[in-house]
Amino acid sequence: MTHQPSTVAVRSIESRKTKGAGAPTGWRLLVRRIRRQPLTLIAVSWLLLVVLGAIFADVIAPYDPLQNDFRPDAVLTGPTAEHWLGTDENGRDVLSRIIYGARIALAVGFGSVVVAMLIGVPLGLLLGYRGGWWDRLGTRFVDIIDALPGMLVAFAIIAILGRGLTSIMLAIGLIFCMNFARMARAITLAEGQKPYIEAAKVSGLREVAILFRQILPNLAGPLIVQGAILTGTAIVIESALSFLGIGLESSVPSWGGLLGIAAAKQALQPFLAFPPGLVIILTVLSFNLLGDGISEALQGDKRTKVKLTQADRAQRSAAALSAAPADPDNILEIRDVTVEFQRQHEDPLPLVKDASLTVRRGEIVGLLGESGSGKSTLARAVLGLLPPGLTVASGAILLDGQDIAESPEKKLRVLRGSQLAAVFQDPMAALSPVHTIGKQLSEPLRAHFKLSRAEARKRAAELLDRVGVKNAADRLGDYPHQFSGGMAQRVAIAIALAANPQLVIADEATSALDVTTQAQVLDLLLDLRDEFGMAILLITHDLGVVAEACDRAAIMYKGEIVEVTRDAASLFDAPQDPYTVRLLAARERRPREANAAVSDEHIVTIDEEAAVK
C-alpha cells in the first residue's frame, strides 16, 4: 500500500521551497557578503581600473610607450600639460608606460600563480592522500625547496632561461608552488579521513577521480584567497627583479623598470619614483584586501559580540529589582530570559523566549527538549559563553542572588570555577590535547586558591581519585588521548569540581558514553552532589536519565520552557503540557507480534501532530 505525504508535510515542503527560492546561495551569497565590506569594494574598484587600463591601453594611453623624445626640454620632466606624470630619461611618457605596464603586472601576477597551482596543488593532493613514505619523503622535499631563498631561485631560473616574461612567470611560480603544496596537503589530510572519501573508495572510483573530483573542490575557497594574495606578491617580485635590471628588458614598459630608472635618476628628477611606486603599492594592497575580504565572506558574516546600551542595562536591572527578591534557597534563578541572534539588516531572531527556571541548592534539575529547542543556548547564557551575535536581550540570571546576565568578563572569571562550573558533552574536545591531565587540573586550583605547584598537584591527585580514576597520582602525567571516553569524562568532572562550585551545568555530559559508562557517571554525579552539596542543571535528551538522577524536570520547546514539573515522577505520571505528552509518546515503542508484517504507517512528527490537532 502506498501512502501519500500528509497535508502538513506537503505544506511544510512547499513553504521551505518558497522561502528558499529567493535566498542567495553560492557565488551570489559570496558577492552579497563582499558588497558589505567597504575596504574590499575599494580594492575591487582599483583592480578593475587596473584591468581596464591593461585591456584598453591602446585607446587610453596618450602616447606610444616606446616613443622616444631626446629633446633637452622633453627628458626627465616633471608633470606638465602634455605629460601629466612627466617623462623618463629617453623622453617617454610615464603615464603611458604605467598604463601599458599594467599588462605586464597582471600577466606576471596571474601567470605565476597559475604555474604555482599547476605544480603545487597536485603535489599536495598526492602527498596528503597517499601518506606514509610518500608523505614523509615528499614533505622533506617540499621543506628543502621552501628553505631556498626565493630571489636566489629566481636568479637561477632567469640565468638558465634568459630574461623574458615566461622566465619570470616560471621563476615566481616555483617560489610560490610550495605554499600551494602545503595548503593542499593539509586540507587533503583532513578530508581524506572523512566518510565520503571512504564511500568513494568503496564505490570503485580511481585515485585521480577521488583527488580531483572529490577533494579538489574543497580547496576552491583557500585557493582563491591564497591566489589573490600571492598575485600581489608576484607583482612585487617582478618589480624587484626589473628594478635590479635582471627582469624584463628596459624597453619593455613595466612598473619595476620605471622604478629602476627613477632610482638611477633620482638626483635629476625625484618625482619620477612616485607614480610607479604608488601604483605598485595600491595594486598589491588591493590584492591583499581582496584576499582578506574573500576569506571573511567564505567564513560567513563577521559578527562582533553585542553589547547592551546603558539604557538597556538600567531597564533590565529595574525589571529585576521590581520582581520578587531572590530566594536564598535558590542557587540559580532564570527570570524571563530572552536570547536574541542579531542579524544584519534584519530584525533580531529570538532563540530563547521568556525562559524562567529555578535550581535550588543541592538539587538536580533536568532540562529536556528536542535538538534545537534552545537548551544549550540557555546554558551558555548562564555561563556567559554566548557566541558573537547572540545576546541576552531581556530578563535576569541570578546566581546566588547576583544578576550575572551579560556581566563583564572580569566579573565572570571570578565566578566561574568557584561558584559556577560546567561539564560538556565531548570530554576529548573539552580537554586540551597538548597538556597533561595534571596540568589541566592544577591550573584552576592555583588560580582560585593560590596553591603552590606541589600543593596543586597533590590536590589534583585527590580529585582524580575521588572521581574514580585508578592510580591517580601516576596518571597526572598522562594526556587526554591516553584515557577512555568514560575516564576522560571523569577527568572533566574533576576539573569542574576543582574550586568547589555551587552549581554545575552538565550539558549532555553522558550522551557520548555507552550505557554502562553512562550509568557509572550518573552514579558519580549523584554521589558528588550528596558529598559537596552542589546543584546540577542536567541537560539531556534521555528520559531515563531524568527518571534516575533528577529531582525535577523542565521541558523546552522552540526556545520556551513550556513545563516545569514538581518532581521527576510527575513528568511521567501526570505531564501537563501537550508537548510533554507528545515527547513522552515519541519515546514509546509499540510491541509487534512475531509474525506481524512491518507497518508502513506514516510516522507523524511532533510539529505535524500539533498542526493536525
- Three-state secondary structure string covering 174-209: HHHHHHHHHHHHHHHHHHCCCHHHHHHHHCCCCHHH
d(CA 342, CA 306) in angstroms, rounded, equals 8
DSSP state of 549: H
Question: In the predicted model, what is the mean pLDDT of residues 18-22?
Answer: 41
Kindly tell me the number of DSSP H helices and DSSP E strands found in the chain.
26, 10
| Model pLDDT, residue 312 | 58
What SS3 state is found at 364?
strand
Cβ neighbours of residue 187 under 8 Å, at least 6 residues apart? 124, 128, 215, 218, 219, 222
- Which of the pair, 120 or 598, is modelled with greater confidence? 120
Q: What's the predicted TM-score (pTM) here?
A: 0.62
Compute the average pLDDT of residues 234-254.
85
* Averaged pLDDT for residues 172-201: 90
What is the model's pLDDT at position 525? 87
Residue 12 has pLDDT above 70, yes or no: no
pLDDT at 591 (0 to 100): 46
The string of pLDDT tens digits covering residues 260-278 is: 888 888 888 899 999 999 9
Q: Assess contact for 554 and 561: CB atoms under 8 A.
A: yes
Q: Amino acid identity of 314? A: A
* Amino acid symbol at 95: L
More confident residue, 315 or 177: 177
3-state secondary structure of 38: helix
What confidence category does residue 313 fall into, taking pLDDT thresholds of 50, 70 and 90?
low
Q: What is the mean pLDDT of residues 335-354?
A: 86
376 contacts 397 by C-beta, under 8 angstroms: no
Q: Are 505 and 422 in contact (CB under 8 A)?
A: yes
For the sheet with 402-403, list strands across it.
349-360, 330-341, 390-399, 402-403
pLDDT of residue 238 exceeding 70: yes
Pairing of strands 330-341, 503-507: unpaired
At 458-496, the pLDDT tens digits run 999 999 998 988 899 999 999 998 998 888 888 988 988
Nearest CA to 468 among 490, 447, 449?
490
Q: How far apart are CA 360 and CA 223, in angstroms?
A: 54
Q: What percent of the chain has pLDDT over 70?
A: 87
Instruction: For 43-87, write each residue's pLDDT tens digit.
Output: 999 999 999 999 999 999 999 998 888 888 888 998 998 999 989
Instruction: Map grid coordinates 569594494 to a residue.
Output: 41
Taking all residues of the chain, what is their mean pLDDT, rounded to a whole number?
84
Residue 11 in this model has a pLDDT that exceeds 80: no
Query: Given pLDDT bands bounded at 50, 70 and 90, which one contains residue 410?
Result: confident
pLDDT at 119 > cutoff 50: yes
Q: What pLDDT does residue 596 have?
A: 43
Domain boundaries, the chain: 38-64+93-298
Give the pLDDT mean for 222-245: 90
pLDDT at 218 over 90: no
Q: Which of 110, 50, 43, 114 is nearest to 290 (CA)?
A: 43
With beta carbons less than 8 A apart as the criterion, state whether 82 and 88 touch.
Answer: no
Specify the residue for cell string 510491541: 591
pLDDT of res. 536? 93
Alpha helices in 416-452 (DSSP H): 427-430, 437-449
Give exposure, 33-72, as e/b (b: 16+ Cβ within 10 Å): bbeebeebeebbebbeebeebbeebeeebebebeeeeeee
- Top-ranked range on mean pLDDT: pick from 37-46, 147-156, 441-450: 37-46
Q: Cα-flanking dihedrals φ and ψ of residue 235, to 5°?
A: -65, -40
Residues with Cβ within 8 Å of residue 326, at least 6 apart in sequence: 333, 398, 401
What integer pLDDT is reported at residue 318 of this predicted model? 56
Cα separation, 195 vs 533, whole angstroms: 45
How large is the average pLDDT for residues 39-44? 94
Query: Is the pLDDT reported for residue 317 higher than 60?
Result: no
The three three-digit cell numbers of residue 453, written as one number: 605547584
pLDDT, average across residues 228-236: 93
Burial 110-126 (b: 16+ CB within 10 A, else e): ebbbebbbebbbbbbbb
| Domain 38-64+93-298 top-level CATH class | mainly alpha
Confidence class for position 7, pLDDT limits 50, 70, 90: very low
pLDDT in the model for residue 531: 87
Q: Answer whether residue 432 shows pLDDT above 70.
A: yes
d(CA 34, CA 228) in angstroms, rounded, equals 14
Decide if pLDDT at 178 tops 60: yes
Q: In what order do the strands lie in the sheet with 552-557?
A: 420-423, 503-507, 535-539, 364-368, 552-557, 560-564
Distance CA 358, CA 372 (A): 22
Q: 3-state class of 476 per DSSP?
A: coil
**366-377 pLDDT per residue, tens:** 999 888 889 999
pLDDT > 70? residue 408: yes
Buried-exposed string 367-376: b where 16+ CB fall within 10 A, e elsewhere? bbbbeebbbb
Mean pLDDT, range 174-178, rounded to an integer? 92
Mean pLDDT to the nearest integer, 437-454: 89
316 pLDDT above the threshold of 70: no
First to last CA, the chain: 25
Of 23-32, 330-339, 529-538, which gets the smallest average pLDDT? 23-32
Q: Are 344 and 389 in contact (CB under 8 A)?
A: no
- Ranges 10-24, 30-44, 432-446, 527-541: which has the least confidence: 10-24
Q: How confident is the model at residue 42 (pLDDT cuts 50, 70, 90)?
A: very high
259 or 15, which is more confident: 259
Residue 102's pLDDT is: 94
Query: Are 83 and 93 contacting, i.e. CB atoms less than 8 angstroms apart?
Result: yes
Average pLDDT of span 311-316: 56
**Which is more confident, 319 or 358?**
358
Q: Under 8 Å CB-to-CB from 123, ≥6 apart: which residues?
A: 138, 142, 177, 181, 184, 185
Taking the CB of residue 1, how many other CB atoms lie within 10 A of it? 4
